[in-house]
């Protein structure tokens, strides 16, 4: 079972001691996290690591997931996209399904905790169906820089009942919202199969299992196959880079099952890689493969048009690999231009080609960037940092 002790060898005694000390006033306090899935997606991944650690330091933390129907999840997916700026037909029936599902769930969810933490828009209305006895926190992981105004006005109805809103980026703060807002960056868990140290033997075994040869330098992008990730234009960049340095491109990702355009994009990509042995497209979910590929690549690209946070950048940096990434979403918080990779305008193909080529050609720069990247992540984007942020937040909100 995960214990905070296991992180000592990574982050050092001081941080661990600080966490235990900060948690002291919260000992025995009861907290509940509510979100909409145990599996799939970054939020579930973070909670899977974070919640056992919160318990390990002595806080009694529960985790429960909302029971939604298929209709409900179709609607909340639209809400999610609309919060990120897309259009939405906010009909009365959508509102009704959204509310009813939350109300039904509230019937068999008895909350007598000292604090409630609600994640993302799906369980947001829950607060309306309880006699409030404790502070409620809304933790939103969505890019909220430019939400659909009609939906935003509707959701504020619930948000106003919360004691605090937590966002992943200061840029998402809403001036007109009379609720305290603060920012907690996502983080990665260095002990999961995706991020832990793995042996060279396991790396070779994994790469050969997925038919990735290592006789040429590898550049890669590891991202869901959806329209926001710029995957097609990564191929363009690669083709121009290859004229200067012989290398391979690996595109690794999973299908975005909730995105109807996903399979179309994947088919398109399949056709483009067909006659090119140096262009490898892999659609599987395999944490060890991600880990191995991040370690073996010379450069990683993250050519997104939009990102909530883009934690995959930190995952690559953690393995000592430089990243060339778009200056969108949370990527500029992770890439320090010239230090652990480069930040590039997603539309400036020429600069992408130059930057990737430069890193490929300069092994010393690559190694220096790799070291800096790992240290940057260690300081800023590990689960222990986020654990401390949550502890500090709870201490402030529970108001001890």
**Four-CA torsion 42, 46, 47, 48, nearest 10 degrees:** 100
Least separation in angstroms between CB 38 and a copy of itself: 4
Q: Please tell me whether residue 63 adopts helix, strand or coil conformation.
A: strand
Closer to a copy of itself by Cβ: residue 93 or 274: 93
Closer to a copy of itself by Cβ: residue 20 or 38: 38
Closer to a copy of itself by Cβ: residue 72 or 372: 72
**Is 115 within 8 Å of 29 (Cβ atoms)?**
yes
**Is 119 within 8 Å of 141 (Cβ atoms)?**
yes
Task: Report if residue 60 touches a copy of itself, rule: CB under 8 A.
Answer: yes
User: If phi over 0 gives left and psi between -120 and 50 gives alpha, with beta otherwise, what is residue 294?
Assistant: alpha
Least separation in angstroms between CB 62 and a copy of itself: 6
Closer to a copy of itself by Cβ: residue 193 or 363: 193
Closer to a copy of itself by Cβ: residue 288 or 305: 288
Least separation in angstroms between CB 275 and a copy of itself: 33
Cα gap 387→187, rounded to integer Å: 9
Q: For residue 218, give every residue at least 6 positions away whose Cβ sits within 8 Å of its Cβ, in sequence order, or none.
A: 212, 247, 248, 249, 250, 293, 296, 297, 298
Residue count, binding to a copy of itself (CB under 8 A) = 22
Least separation in angstroms between CB 68 and a copy of itself: 8
CA atoms within 13 A on the CB side of 191: 17
**Which two three-digit tokens encode residue 239?**
């083709």
Cα gap 216→351, rounded to integer Å: 23
Binding pattern to a copy of itself, positions 92-111, x when CB under 8 A?
--------x--xx--xxxx-
Residue entry with tokens 């700026």: 85
Task: Report if residue 77 touches a copy of itself, rule: CB under 8 A.
Answer: no
Closer to a copy of itself by Cβ: residue 100 or 278: 100
Q: Please tell me whether residue 35 adopts helix, strand or coil conformation.
A: strand
Q: Please tell me whether residue 205 adopts helix, strand or coil conformation.
A: helix
Closer to a copy of itself by Cβ: residue 3 or 270: 3
**Is 174 within 8 Å of 201 (Cβ atoms)?**
no
* 6, 8, 18, 64: which one binds a copy of itself (CB under 8 A): 64
Residues 18-57 that bind a copy of itself (CB under 8 A): 30, 33, 38-39, 51-52, 55
Task: Report if residue 65 touches a copy of itself, rule: CB under 8 A.
Answer: yes
Closer to a copy of itself by Cβ: residue 65 or 292: 65
Task: Report if residue 324 touches a copy of itself, rule: CB under 8 A.
Answer: no
Strand ranges for the chain from DSSP E: 30-35, 60-65, 115-119, 136-139, 164-167, 181-183, 218-222, 248-253, 279-283, 299-302, 323-326, 341-344
Task: Report if residue 277 touches a copy of itself, rule: CB under 8 A.
Answer: no
Q: Which stretch binds a copy of itself (CB under 8 A): 64-72, 251-259, 309-317, 392-400?
A: 64-72
Binding site for a copy of itself (CB under 8 A): 1, 30, 33, 38-39, 51-52, 55, 60-65, 67, 100, 103-104, 107-110
């Amino acid at each position: 079972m995960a214990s905070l002790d296991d992180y000592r060898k990574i982050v050092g005694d001081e941080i661990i001691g600080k966490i235990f000390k900060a948690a002291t006033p919260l000992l025995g306090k009861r907290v509940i996290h509510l979100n909409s899935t145990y599996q799939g997606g970054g939020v579930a991944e973070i909670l899977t690591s974070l919640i056992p650690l919160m318990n390990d330091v002595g806080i009694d933390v529960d985790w429960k997931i909302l029971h939604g129907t298929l209709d409900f999840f179709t609607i909340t997916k639209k809400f999610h996209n609309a919060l990120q700026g897309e259009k939405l037909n906010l009909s009365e029936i959508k509102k009704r399904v959204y509310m009813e599902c939350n109300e039904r769930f509230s019937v068999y969810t008895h909350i007598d905790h000292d604090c409630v933490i609600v994640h993302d828009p799906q369980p947001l209305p829950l607060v309306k169906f309880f006699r409030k006895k404790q502070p409620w926190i809304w933790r939103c992981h969505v890019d909220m820089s430019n939400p659909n105004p009609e939906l935003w006005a509707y959701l504020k109805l619930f948000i106003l009942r919360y004691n605090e809103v937590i966002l992943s980026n200061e840029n998402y703060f809403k001036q007109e919202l009379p609720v305290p807002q603060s920012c907690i960056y996502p983080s990665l868990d260095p002990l999961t199969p995706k991020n832990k140290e793995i042996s060279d033997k396991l790396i070779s075994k994994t790469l050969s299992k997925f038919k990735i040869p290592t006789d040429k330098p590898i550049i890669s992008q590891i991202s869901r196959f959806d329209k926001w990730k710029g995957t097609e234009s990564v191929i363009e960049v690669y083709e121009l880079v290859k004229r200067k340095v012989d290398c391979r491109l690996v595109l690794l990702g999973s299908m975005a099952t909730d995105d109807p355009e996903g399979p179309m994009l994947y088919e398109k990509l399949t056709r483009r890689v067909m006659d090119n042995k140096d262009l490898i497209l892999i659609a599987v979910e395999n944490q060890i493969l991600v880990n191995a590929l991040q370690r073996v690549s010379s450069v990683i690209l993250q050519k997104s048009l939009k990102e909530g946070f883009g934690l995959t950048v930190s995952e690559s940096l953690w393995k000592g690999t430089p990243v060339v990434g778009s200056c969108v979403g949370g990527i500029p918080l992770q890439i320090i231009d010239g230090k652990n990779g480069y930040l590039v305008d997603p539309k400036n193909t020429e600069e992408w080609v130059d930057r990737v080529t430069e890193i490929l050609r300069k092994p010393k720069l690559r190694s220096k960037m790799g070291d800096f990247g790992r240290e940057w992540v260690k300081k800023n984007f590990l689960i222990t940092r986020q654990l401390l942020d949550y502890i500090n937040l709870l201490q402030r909100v529970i108001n001890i």
